[in-house]
Each structure stands twice: as structure tokens, then as C-alpha cells.
Amino acid sequence: MDFEILEILPIPVIRSAAPFQEGEEIFEMPRWHCFCCHDTGWVQPHIASLVIADYNPSRHRTPVCQACDKGRLWFHLKGNIDMRFNFRICKRLDKWERDNWKKTVMLQLENFQKRK
């Protein structure tokens, strides 16, 4: 099944997803190849919620990333995975997450420079 991304909401980056704790002085992008699944094969929950409006990782099937080859690791869990995130959607989510991280890193850098 193919479907359009319902809505793109600007969501705040949760602290645990930030690359470095406050106070650290190195600001750089994470080294994932795939920002859609962070190289795990699972579309990250905060990213999946961009596509599935009321996505709840504890209730819904986990979406498998189809932008990279890591999703294949989970194909055997058929019935418990959500295969609707096709290549095109995952690539868009990859770009969204990349842009989000760029902004986060830039903000951290700005905040750090302000504190100096």
C-alpha cells in the first residue's frame, strides 16, 4: 500500500536523542548512514509519528526501514512489522531527520558560543 505523508509536524528533539549532553563541547552530526532508522532497520518512533498521526510504539507494529538494507534484518518478523514505509517515504524521513540534526547541532554550537 502506498500513501502520502499525512503531515509534517515540527517536533522538538528529545534530550535522549541529542548527540551530546549539555556542557560538552563537541558538536557534530551522528555517523549513521541512514537517518530514517539510525542504522537499526527500525524506523525511529519519533520519525514514524510523522507519517502515522497517532503512532504509539508500544501498541503499533514497528515500521521497517526500506531506505537502506538494514530493514531486511526484520523481514522474518512478518505480522509484527509495518511494511508500508516504502523507499520513497523512508528517503523523505531520512532527509527530515538529517535536517533536524543539522539544526540541532547548529543550535548547540550557537548556544555554546553564546555561553563563552
Q: Which is nearer to Zn ion, 47 or 67 (CB)?
A: 67
Residues 25-54 contacting Zn ion, CB under 5 A: 34, 36-37
Q: Which three cell numbers stand for residue 23?
A: 556542557
* Cα 94 to Cα 75: distance, rounded to the nearest angstrom: 20
Q: Is 18 in a helix, a strand, or coil?
A: coil
* Cα 25 to Cα 35: distance, rounded to the nearest angstrom: 23
CB of 64 vs Zn ion, minimal distance in Å: 9
Residues 53-92 contacting Zn ion, CB under 5 A: 65, 67-68
Contacts with Zn ion by CB under 5 A lie at 34, 36-37, 65, 67-68
